[in-house]
Amino acid sequence: MQLRNLGTTGLRIAPLVLGGNVFGWTADEETSFAILDAFRAAEFNAIDTADVYARFAPGREGGESETVLGAWMKERGARKDIVLITKGGLEMGKGLQGLGREYLLKACDASLRRLQTDYIDVYMSHRADPSVPIEETLEAFDRLIKAGKVRYAGCSNYTAEELAAALAAAGMGRASYTVLEPYYNLVDRGEYEGAVENICRDHGLGVVCYFSLASGFLTGKYRKPEDIAARPRARLLSRYFTPRGLRLLEVLDSVSARHRATPAQVALAWLMTRPGITAPIASATAVAQLSDILKSAELALTREDLAELELNGTG
């Protein structure tokens, strides 16, 4: 398997990043360890998480994913094999949020404790914070990098305007964002393609995209509203039941049949062909599910496949 350069960072990652949002949520510790073991055994190496995972779920406080991942890395002695990506800035409790200098430094330290490591490979602003000057945020990242706690700074969910402003403010004691994590998949293309994509390519940013399977819609498991009634992400999934979305599933079926693959593998392989995309992020709640999505890295789509997916993935 060929590793890919993560932009200009000097980090090299496998073509699929494991999403850690499910750890401590829909995957308990035992299941999470099994998934992580299988991921490492297959020689994949990049894992994405955030301090706020899984605060969004009932009964969770945040930090669960980092805690599980940290326990696994320590027990397995796996830290040296992992390119670790995590994020901070979203609310972790009353007064615990934002990208101000004081809080960001504390949030990073808290992540390091949960992850049981002394450095993070890529530490990201989870979302832009308009209440804090970008210069202050980048100065905080610079301090973390100089302290050896963070290797590279990145950001997630930034608009083209926010990203351009951040890149323009870098230098003179301020870190520069070198990795972007956007919302991007075959059915949701508007937030990344265009201005954001152009900025990333012009500046050589590494790009790892999340929601790569559109909350599971692109797996083909959900074909009608009744299929998602009991799903945790039913609200997110419901918006894909449109003529365009259902037509796209038919195309995924056709392409996957030609390759004896699954729709999920095709959807991820498509992302791997996109200019400027370093790797998609995908989560798994079982080892069998992980085994399926990892095969996407071996799938070579033809020009015919790509043309068909392109035609039906737009409009």
Catalytic residue positions, numbered? 53
Report how far apart, in Å, the C-alpha atoms of 32 and of each of 25, 43, 210, 231, 240 are.
10, 17, 19, 20, 29
> What's the Cα-to-Cα distance from 124 to each of 84, 90, 151, 178, rounded to whole Å?
11, 11, 11, 10
269 contact partners, CB below 8 Å, separation of at least 6? 261, 296, 297, 299, 300, 301
Residue 187 CA to residue 218 CA, distance in Å, equals: 8
Q: Round to whole Å and give the CA distance between 163 and 178.
A: 11
- The residues, ordered by sequence, that sit 6+ positions from 18 with a Cβ below 8 Å of its Cβ are 35, 36, 39, 44, 46, 47, 48, 281, 282, 283, 284, 290
CA angle, 70 as apex, 214 and 138 as ends, to 5°?
70
Q: How far apart are CA 79 and CA 81, in angstroms?
A: 5
214: left (phi over 0), alpha (psi -120 to 50) or beta: left
Task: Give dist(CA 115, CA 42) in Å, integer.
Answer: 22
Cβ–Cβ < 8 Å for 26, 103: no
